[in-house]
Amino acid sequence: MNKNKIIAQSPGRINIIGEHTDYNDGFVLPAAINKKSVFKLSKNGSDQMVNIRSEDFGNSYSFSLNDLKPLKSGWENYVMGVINELQKSGAHLEGFDGEFGGDVPIGSGMSSSAALECSLAFGLNELFDLGFDNWQIIKICQLAEHNFAGIKCGIMDQFASVMGKKDHAMLLDCRSLEYKFFPLELGKYEFLLMNTNVSHTLASSEYNTRRIECEKGVEIIRSKFPNIKNLRDATLEMLTHCTSELPEPIFKRCHHIITENERVLNATDALTKKDFHLLGKLMYQSHFSLQTKYEVSCQELDFLVDITQENPHVLGSRMMGGGFGGCTLNLILRNERASFVDHASTAYRKQYGIDLKDYSVQISDGSKIIS
């Protein structure tokens, strides 16, 4: 291998269940998929200069390693954020050139940003012999999103991108960072993604707002139950006991997180027992909680979930990702996929004048060096 030139790839992910629980120290059940970000990297002989080109966006950006400043928005922040966190963690970098592209749909809820971050960090770790382990890379990429992109994400997306295992889902305890693989043997069923092709501008700001609302809920519950560190520790009984002190929106946010954690653990039991009807039921429950309690859905997502309830071949459906657009995740009888997609696409186009995009995904391994 030419250590002056590296090609690294990191996958996007689906999240079977466990939405917005990761930054509440809860449980999530993601899986890496066969859509990925690929980063080509090479040393350029300079001390400080970095030149990056995006194949997807068709533009380039150059900057110095000792002059990293966030822009108002853009892919550049994810790149500089990773480099900034690497250097804060003690990495010695030199000038390099990079080019990235991939097939993780942007704004779909498949975490194209984490795939970008992890492919860059994984590649730089190899290119400059930095010696970081997988967990260090995961945390570096999470902090990059916090500090440069301005999104206070949990750790799930980066974890799934780096640690993915082919044909397995991963139960991650976001507090202890313990994880366990569960075989995804769906038999005659498959996961189908339906992309609304909308991305409402509320997504980033409301994401951070939800995190603040959860923290306020914890403060109020802790006033009566001092041992509570996070919503992970709370029960519905505790929440009910605090009803009079909790503003309605805060109560609803807490209710979603507490019940969603239960659904994740029940989903792992369903996978173990291959009880796909139970898994589908839990997916529906998750969506309706995200819609009515966490209030991060939108009419396009709700339309696609509602239409599945008319179809006996779909066992479960829910919005996936941060919300306000992106994809629904559907557990569907494989042989009925084509007819369902045709029906849903026709109805969606009639309702919104927008073409749906569907994806059947395979469950893949995590980050790796491919050249």
Fold of 5-184+365-369: Ribosomal Protein S5; domain 2 (3.30.230)
Per-residue pLDDT, 211: 93
Is 157 an annotated catalytic residue?
A: yes
Pick from 102-111, 249-258, 334-343, 346-355: least confident: 102-111
- φ/ψ of 161, rounded to 5, equals -65, -40
| Residue 51 CB partners (closer than 8 Å, separation 6+) | 44, 60, 61, 62, 97, 98
Q: What CATH number belongs to 189-360?
A: 3.30.70.890
Predicted confidence band of residue 206 (pLDDT cuts 50, 70, 90): confident
User: What would the mean pLDDT of 125-133 be, rounded to a whole number?
Assistant: 98
Query: Quick one: how far is CA 286 from the chain centroid?
Result: 16
Least confident of 125-129, 148-152, 292-296: 148-152
**8, pLDDT greater than 60:** yes
Q: Is 225 exposed, middle or buried (0-12, 13-18, 19+ CB in 10 A)?
A: middle
Can you give the residue ranges of every domain in the chain? 5-184+365-369, 189-360
Whether the pLDDT of residue 309 is over 80: the answer is: yes
Q: Residue range 130-154: average pLDDT?
A: 94
Structure-token match 């071949």, residue found? 313
> In the predicted model, is pLDDT for residue 1 greater than 60?
no
For residues 319 and 20, the answer to whether their CB atoms sit within 8 Å is no
Structure tokens at 335: 């042989």
Residue with tokens 């999103």: 145
Average pLDDT over residues 285-294: 98
What is this structure's pTM?
0.94
Q: Which amino acid is at 85?
A: E
Lowest mean pLDDT among 95-109, 195-209, 231-245: 195-209
- Of the listed 47, 157, 173, 342, which one is catalytic? 157
204 pLDDT tier (thresholds 50, 70, 90): low
Among the ranges given (54-63, 153-162, 197-206, 250-259), the one the predictor scored with the smallest mean pLDDT: 197-206
Residue pair 291/160 in contact (Cβ under 8 Å)? The answer is no
Instruction: Please say if the pLDDT value at position 123 is more than 70.
Output: yes
What's the CA gap between 180 and 143, in Å, rounded?
Answer: 24
> What value does the mean pLDDT of the chain take?
95
Q: ∠ at Cα 33 (31, 39), nearest 5°?
A: 120
What's the confidence (pLDDT) of residue 322? 86
CA atoms within 13 A on the CB side of 198: 23
Q: Does residue 14 contact residue 148 with C-beta atoms inside 8 Å?
A: no
DSSP symbols for 171-194:
EEETTT--EEEEE---TTEEEEEE
C-alpha span between 74 and 252 (Å, rounded): 32
- CB proximity list for 369: less than 8 A, separation 6 or greater: 1, 6, 7, 8, 122, 123, 126
